Structure 1
């Protein structure tokens, strides 16, 4: 039966091997009507601009997604960039793909696909492996020397956006996160983008603090819930 409220996500359904849908919640919806239609899916992503007073044990709050943004200005952002370019380069064949995939998994420590323990078919690994593979194919991966860290980015309509960012556990507390973001700013600015956005999770306070220290401001907050059919 075709759902009236919930959009079927064909890509996610094929990747995970079961019916997946999503819904953008609004004030006219009721939990009871949602649960009736959600029974046709194994997993439904619920997105809301506000916290939802949902009572069903099948629905869990899995993420509060925040998006930061910054207007890039060459004269302010890229002084001393030549030093960064010596230690951060575009991903090439010489780097180990296995290590890059490891870093991709590290970047998703707070991911809703990892937080939601009800998903036990390697959904997190499937999604993040596909994410890094796509970034590589598009030439949108920057790596730190010795694969100390990496950052990916996407080119959107009118702005660029950070995708994955991670520092190897053996190389943390060496300012690589800041350097990787700075290098990504430089790269997307060269490609003609003056606005860079960075999504993260509100639970990831170290990342939130870093972005604010680097001049990023909060653009949007979204509450995300997962319905999981038991």
Structure 2
């Protein structure tokens, strides 16, 4: 029932597992017994089931999708000309300045991450996870589109082809540059890229509590298809059974 997660375990330095809930609760006695081998377990499922099991939620992940239409491919008319949008070649070596600026953008993209929001994580889990992003996107063959002003990176978005559609993983614009249409133009480049490959569906996930992101995605045509409540369960703090 509880799946061992070798990557998270190696990265964090303690045993991590995942409990994906189905349509109904599993046998809690068996779950508790198996959980004794773990230090942290991600419990994921429909909001009602997670709460019924007694696990305290840390976040609600919302999965959204969008059908790409012709108007999505049109360049934003009021986009500032000093902003350069281009695809980054991830097979090469990054310059020192690109490394620094991308690192800052990566951490900006994860401000609403459950690993950032969970105050009980005290082993720099958030920093470790997001510091490994470059190796991850190279291994999984992501594409990276970046925005620059005078050569400096001010925004980026990473995406890949997954099960017949595109999927965005990381997306951020530097705080001082937000509100200038850079995020919209970065997303447009993803639409154009997918359309050229014959794909017309794009998916992504965000945190429900991130109202700014939810509003942005709604404005450009994404709609939610699924909500998943996520709890971080420390087996030493066992959930109460519901009778």
TM-score class normalised by the smaller sequence: 0.7 to 0.9
Pairwise CA distance, 1:112: 0.6
1:143 aligns with 2:129: no
Q: Compute the TM-score of the two structures, normalised by the length of structure 2.
A: 0.82
1:47 aligns with 2:50: no
Pairwise CA distance, 1:106: 0.7
For residues 220 and 138 of structure 2, the distance between their equivalents in structure 1, rounded to whole angstroms, comes to 26
For residues 192 and 17 of structure 1, the distance between their equivalents in structure 2, rounded to whole angstroms, comes to 42
Match of 2:73 in 1: 78
Pairwise CA distance, 1:213: 0.8
User: Secondary structure in 2 aligned to 1:96?
Assistant: helix
For residues 45 and 8 of structure 2, the distance between their equivalents in structure 1, rounded to whole angstroms, comes to 20
- The question of whether the paired residues in 2 share the 8 Å contact of 1:70 and 1:217 is answered with yes
Map residues 111-126 of structure 1 onto 2, 5 A cutoff. 111-126=113-128
- The question of whether the paired residues in 2 share the 8 Å contact of 1:104 and 1:132 is answered with no
Structure 1 unaligned spans of 5+: none
Aligned length: 223
Match of 2:100 in 1: 98
- The question of whether the paired residues in 1 share the 8 Å contact of 2:32 and 2:235 is answered with no
Match of 1:9 in 2: 5
C-alpha distance after superposition, 1:142-182 (max 9, x if no partner): 11113111111122111111101111122122122222212
Pairwise CA distance, 1:90: 1.3
Say which of 76, 84, 89 aligns to 1:87: 84
Tell me whether 80-89 or 202-211 shows the greater mean CA deviation. 80-89
Q: CA RMSD in A?
A: 2.4
For residues 54 and 101 of structure 1, the distance between their equivalents in structure 2, rounded to whole angstroms, comes to 39
1:156 aligns with 2:162: yes
Tell me whether 195-204 or 183-192 shows the greater mean CA deviation. 183-192
User: Secondary structure in 2 aligned to 1:28?
Assistant: coil
Q: Would the alpha carbon gap of residues 24 and 136 (structure 1) be closer, same or farther in structure 2, given more than 3 Å must change?
A: closer
- The question of whether the paired residues in 2 share the 8 Å contact of 1:70 and 1:215 is answered with yes
For residues 97 and 53 of structure 1, the distance between their equivalents in structure 2, rounded to whole angstroms, comes to 41
Q: Would the alpha carbon gap of residues 222 and 160 (structure 1) be closer, same or farther in structure 2, given more than 3 Å must change?
A: same
Q: Compute the TM-score of the two structures, normalised by the length of structure 1.
A: 0.87
User: Secondary structure in 2 aligned to 1:29?
Assistant: coil
